[in-house]
Amino acid sequence: MNLTISQLLQCAEQFGTPLYVYNADYISYQYNILQHAFASHPTRFFYACKALTNISILKYVYQLGASLDCVSINEVKLGLYAGYDPKRILFTPNCVEFSEIQEAKELGVLINIDSISVLELFGNTYGDTYPVCIRINPHIEAGGNYKISTGHIDSKFGISIHQIRHIERIVKTTGLHVHGLHMHTGSEIKDIDVFLQALDVLFDMANRFTALDFLDLGSGFKVPYKAGDTGTDIHKLGEKVALAFKTFEQEYGRPLEAWFEPGKFLVSNAGYLLVNTNIIKQTTATVFAGINSGFNHLIRPMFYDAYHEILNVSHPDGPERIYTVVGNICETDTFAWDRVIPEIKEGDILCFKNAGAYGFEMSSNFNSRLKPAEVLVQNGVPKLIRKRQTFEDLLHNQVE
């Protein structure tokens, strides 16, 4: 299911480096896992496109049958451009201008509201003419890192569960039609009981609304990054979620769909970042492998302390040595300290694994460096899906 060393080398030779490469077959494999795991209850999957918004990826995920989760109006427009029906796009903004939400309404997409003020303004403006979802903050801290936990008490996301009386007053006063409830507690959740705990909160909230169509649990499925890592037990979660919904629906009196928003789960391990080794530099304490990239291309190790396995695809069977892998920008951009890697020589191609999510998507032009190209490998055939930037791109939109 993973791309082979020879395939990665072929991509590097054909398209140059730095280069993002995505494996379409792996994305399909992950989506099929979700479908099978939740087959016993009506469930919809909305690809969290903030992980990777390349149009070719959006179109491919659409062909698999997924809907789209968007967090900005431009992500919504990218989804529409890629061919998604508006009713297959869920817009969950945070701290945006109301005009952005109004634009989403005019485009006909599903809207998820996560603040009291916006909920009241939307209700006063549109009444019951346009159904909305409400994002709840369950005050559940989850995920492997505080930076990626979004359901804790100090999070900016969602409306606190303790403000339910205020929500009810707004709904009653404005006649607002609430057709769904949503929460997202964080990323990299290994313990499925976190999802079930959040679902219990949603069930309790759902009893206060009579015409819901769905409950959205967000996502946060943990994917393994290295040997020994464990991911979320998707099949066990599917079984327990289906049982919980079946039990609650008997009390609620109408069927409810379960919604999830997988992003990293679909694309993270489908992605690779290929780079060239510019220099091997030895100091009194460290051997540095300096590459033609930096946190301008992959910021996750510096921003989240994220782990990415690093392969020497030029010499995968060489004797193992210890390297500190660093970038080429004028900033501290250490990808890995004291990492054991087959011996690296200047000119070798290195590969960062699990680079499909929040890799290119969080890239920048820091130090006036160019963004890399992107390639999608489908049925073994690599296809360019984004050209490498040029110097002219740096000048574009600048006014002298």
Parse the chain into domains and list their residue ranges. Answer: 38-264, 271-395
Q: How much is the average pLDDT of 345-362?
A: 98
DSSP 388: P
Percent of the chain with pLDDT over 70: 96
Instruction: Give pLDDT, residue 150.
Output: 45
Residue 147: per-residue pLDDT: 47
Please state which CATH number belongs to domain 271-395: 2.40.37.10
CA distances from 289 to 43, 226, 323, 370 (A): 46, 21, 6, 21
Is 330 noted as a catalytic residue in this protein?
Answer: yes
Count Cβ atoms within 10 A of the Cβ of residue 154 and give its class: 0-12 exposed, 13-18 middle, 19 or more buried.
exposed
pTM, 2 dp: 0.94
What is the pLDDT averaged over residues 201-215? 95
pLDDT by residue (tens digit) across 118-134? Answer: 999 999 999 999 999 99
pLDDT tens string 74-83: 999 999 999 9
CATH architecture of 38-264: Alpha-Beta Barrel (3.20)
Work out the average pLDDT over 84-98. Answer: 96
- Looking at residue 303, its pLDDT comes to 93
Calculate what percentage of the chain has a pLDDT beyond 90. Answer: 86
Name the pLDDT band for 187 (thresholds 50, 70, 90).
low
**Which amino acid belongs to residue 170?**
I
Q: What are the helix (H) ranges across the chain?
A: 5-15, 24-37, 55-64, 73-81, 98-107, 116-126, 164-174, 192-206, 234-252, 264-267, 300-303, 391-395
Lowest mean pLDDT among 22-26, 152-156, 169-173, 335-339: 152-156
| SS3 state at 331 | coil
- In this model, does residue 53 exceed pLDDT 60? yes
Catalytic residue among 49, 95, 133, 330: 330
Q: Once rounded to an integer, what is the mean pLDDT over residues 87-103?
A: 96
143 pLDDT above the threshold of 60: no
pLDDT of 386 strictly over 80: yes
Residue 155, pLDDT above cutoff 90:
no
Which tokens is 290 given? Answer: 């300096």
Confidence of residue 225 (pLDDT cuts 50, 70, 90): confident
Output the pLDDT for position 261.
Answer: 96
Residue 229 pLDDT: 84
Phi, psi of 361 (to 5 degrees): -60, -30
Q: How confident is the model at residue 186 (pLDDT cuts 50, 70, 90)?
A: low
Q: CB–CB of 275/18 below 8 Å? A: yes
Tell which wins on pLDDT, 46 or 138. 46
pLDDT confidence of residue 88 = 98
The model's pLDDT over 372-385, given as tens digits with 9 standing for 90+, comes to 999 999 999 999 99
CB-count burial class (<10 Å; 0-12, 13-18, 19+) for 38: buried
Q: What residues have CB less than 8 Å from 76, skipping those under 6 apart?
A: 70, 89, 91, 104, 107, 109
For the chain, the average pLDDT equals 94
- Convert the pLDDT of each residue in 296-321 to its tens digit: 999 999 999 999 999 999 999 999 99
The pLDDT of residue 213 is above 80: yes
Q: For residues 50 and 52, give the distance between their C-alpha atoms in angstroms, rounded to a whole number.
A: 5
pLDDT for residue 151: 46
From CA 254, how far away is CA 208, in angstroms rounded? 14
What pLDDT does residue 282 have?
96
397: amino acid identity, one letter: N
Encode pLDDT of 275-294 as tens digits.
999 999 999 999 999 999 99
pLDDT of residue 26: 98
Q: How far is 12 from 388, CA to CA, in rounded Å?
A: 13
Please check the confidence at residue 98 and state whether its pLDDT lies above 50.
yes
Would you state the structure tokens that stand for residue 36, as one six-digit string? 């099978």
Q: What are phi and psi of 376, to 5 degrees?
A: -110, 125
For residue range 102-113, what is the model confidence (pLDDT) as tens digits? 999 999 999 999
Q: Per-residue pLDDT for 154 more than 70?
A: no
